[in-house]
Structure 1
Amino acid sequence: MNRTRRFDVAAIVVALVISVGIAGVSSRGSAAPSAVSSLAAIQGGAVEPRPLVMFIGDSYTEGKSTREMSYGCRAAVQLGWLCAVSAMGGTGYISGGVANRWVDPYGRKSLSFSERISHLAAQYDPAVVVLDGGRNDEFPPREDVYDAMLSTISETRRTWPRAKIVFTRPRFLAKPTGDLGFDDEFMARLKSQPAAKGVVFIDPISALSDTDTSGLISADGIHPNAAGEDRMTADLLAALTPTMYRVGSS
């Protein structure tokens, strides 16, 4: 390659880096995969972009510090996946929706899980969607929550038909055996519905059923502390690993 040609290639690479940097500031979620693909084209190689896992949930899903360091995203990163989180404390399949809408101190209007999906669809095309909630849905009748869960699963599948859907059984870390009214019969009935065909049901907190979790709970007695999030990351990773490796293989 002559000197002029090397200069031309270098200029293209520099321009690409600048454009990717601008895209990273102005657009969320898509810059990294497109940058990988473009660099691969210049170099003559083929690099597959990393798939995205989307977590939709409550304050547990949101994490103790930043969403990027939530237990869901930490597990996803260990699997080599990109991660996005849509979470708000106090919300659920019903909670935060039309039944009991509220506005938080930052002026954000609460939204149930299903209400977020259309907004998320405009930004993301996930390969896996993890529904992680139900902890705040103890107040409505169980049958109403059942219908809302089933409706949310259906809406998720309609919106992202190619995505693998993962449903996390609702539990609190402080009482890993507590079912919050979503007992084995409830879960079996949900799994048996045609709308839930192909959905992966996981129960990571139950892995701590024989463990004293008092040292994993923050001062509020509800949410995990740093050690609790470490343990939940490990248990979620173990639950998600088989699902992640199956994505795209069928």
Structure 2
Amino acid sequence: MTTQEEFDLWIRRLGTTDHPKARLICFPHAGGSANFYFRFARAFTDLDVYGVQYPGRQDRRREPFRNSIPELADEIAGHLAEWNDLPVVLLGNSMGALVAFEVAFRLESLGSPPLSLFACGRVAPTLRKDEGTHLKGQDAFLREMELLGGMGHELLQDDEILDLVLPPMRADYRLAETYRAAPGTRISAPIHVHIGKADPKVNEPEADQWRLSTTGEFTLDVHDGGHFFFTDNAERLVAAVDHCVENAESLSR
């Protein structure tokens, strides 16, 4: 049984409403934190929105990094499995999409399936994309960060900030680059994939392979923008999540 203290360590409240129709659980990218989704959460008026806080960063920086995405997913699913008084939608960006997929698989096995999974900015779980980024020296690694646009140029020049963000970022890249779903791993929940047209890390054919990871509905949407397209262009993604919840609500009446 998960204690409230343990639960709050992993699952951070980002936005609430008086009469929520569902909960949206957001999974950050490599090196990211739950608060990355704070601005995004404010766009929802009918959902309670939460972000997952991985170990090894910010207020959890003294905790050890986990050794694999499945290990991370085991712990997160354990905290979410009994929280089933409302429908749950999972949304992950980049590495977070892989973590969300593995959590969805575990929740289904535990009898608490999510309503749907939104996967953003990541190749399908069946495709291992190891570019060796986590093994690169600091200068090459920082060039990769700048390419993706997840951190401003000024932050990448600040040694104090780099000392805080580089260890979790490198550890997360190792998890993402060495991950591949176990053969035959599928979920029954719908998978809705959203990518940026200019994302250097995933193209449409790679994103389309997510259809092999579900026995349910599959959609693919391409947006203007890059790897973090929804930080400035979130309207269509927000509308898609809202539509998913509204459609499920109408079917249950």
Greater percentage in strand: 2
Indicate the structure whose relative CO is greater, using CA pairs within 8 Å and at least 6 residues apart. 2
**Greater Rg, structure 1 or structure 2?**
1
TM-score (normalizing by structure 2): 0.47
